[in-house]
Amino acid sequence: MRAISVHPDVIVLTSRVWQTTCTVIRSGEESFVIDSPVYPDELELLPTVVQQAGFHFTGLLATHGDWDHLLGRLAFPKAALGVSETTAARLRGTPAEAQRELRDFDDQHYVMRPQPLSLGQIEALPVPGFCGIGERELELHPTDGHTADGMAVFAEWAGVLVCGDYLSPVEIPIIRGSPTAYLATLGRLGQLVERADWVVPGHGEPLDRARAAAIAGEHRDYVEAMIADPVAVRPPVARGRPEQRRLHAANVDRLKELRRA
C-alpha cells in the first residue's frame, strides 16, 4: 500500500489490488476515512497510518456501495459509515451483497481475514448537501451512472475532490447504471475538477486538474459513443489489456440490453 500527502490535511492511500484508493481528510480535530484499501494487512495498517500522520479519526465515508469501497469497518469496527441516501437504500435493500462479493474475492485470491465484514451503523447523508468536519464542511455531490448510487466528496479548502469510480486513469468507464446519468455525472464532476487542485479517483493515482480534465473528456467521448452505437465502439487504445476489454464487453451487453428494454 502506498501513501502520499496531496495537502497537509489530505492523505491518499492506494491498495495493491486494482489501485483502489482510500482518502483521509482532516479539519481541526476531526478526520474522515473515505473508501478503503482491500487486503487485510493494508486494513490493519490503516489506523496506524492515520495516527502517525497526526489525524484524529472521527468516522467513515464511502463514495458508493461496491464492496471494495466499504471495508473501512474492518479497520475501524466501531465507527458509523456515512453514505449517500441512494447508497444507504442500496445497502439496506441488498444487505448481504457486499459480504458475498467480498467472500467471492477472498476465495478466488486465497485471502484470509480475521473477521467477516459487518457494515454496522449506516448513516444516510443528504446528497447534494454538506457534511461537517471540524469547523469546515465537505461538499457532497451525486454520482450515479457507474452504479445507481453514490456521491463525490469535495474538500474545497484543500482543493481535493474524491470522486469514487469515475475519472480513473487505469480503467475505462464501467456503466452498470444509466449511461445518460453517467454523462450527467461527468458534467458535474467536470465543474468540480475546475475548482480542484487534486482529483482522487476510486482506482488509480491522484490526478492534477489538467490530467483529470483530459480524462473527463476522454470518458465523455466514450460514453457518448456507447449511447449512440455500442456495437461500433472499441475500447480506447490505452485501455486495450484483457481486463479492460472484458469490462468494455460488459458495457456493450448492458447498453444493448437497455436498447431492447
Q: Which residue has the cell 473528456?
A: 217
Cβ-contact 248, 235 below 8 angstroms: yes
Q: How many CB atoms lie within 10 A of CB 236?
A: 15
Beta bridge pairs of residue 60: 33, 81
* Percent of the chain clearing pLDDT 90 (strictly above): 84
Q: What pLDDT is attached to residue 237?
A: 66
Confidence of residue 260 (pLDDT cuts 50, 70, 90): confident
- Arithmetic mean of pLDDT over the chain: 94
Q: What pLDDT is attached to residue 231?
A: 87
Instruction: Give me the residue spans of the domains in the chain.
Output: 2-260
Cβ-contact 186, 231 below 8 angstroms: no
Q: How far apart are CA 79 and CA 176, in angstroms?
A: 29
Collapsed DSSP state (helix, strand, coil) of residue 9: coil
Cβ-contact 50, 92 below 8 angstroms: no
Beta bridge pairs of residue 176: none
Q: What pLDDT is attached to residue 240?
A: 65
Is the pLDDT reported for residue 151 higher than 70? yes
Is the pLDDT reported for residue 84 higher than 80? yes
Window from 69-73, 82-86, 240-244 with minimum mean pLDDT: 240-244
Is the pLDDT reported for residue 6 higher than 90? yes
Residue 73, phi then psi, degrees to nearest 5: -65, -25
Which CATH class, in words, describes the domain spanning 2-260? alpha beta
Q: How many residues does the structure list for the chain? A: 261
pTM of the predicted structure, to 2 decimals: 0.94
Question: For 196-254, how does the pLDDT look when each residue is reduced to its tens digit (9 = 90+)?
Answer: 999 999 999 999 999 999 999 999 999 999 999 888 888 776 666 888 889 999 999 88
Is the pLDDT reported for residue 47 higher than 80? yes
Is the pLDDT reported for residue 27 higher than 80? yes
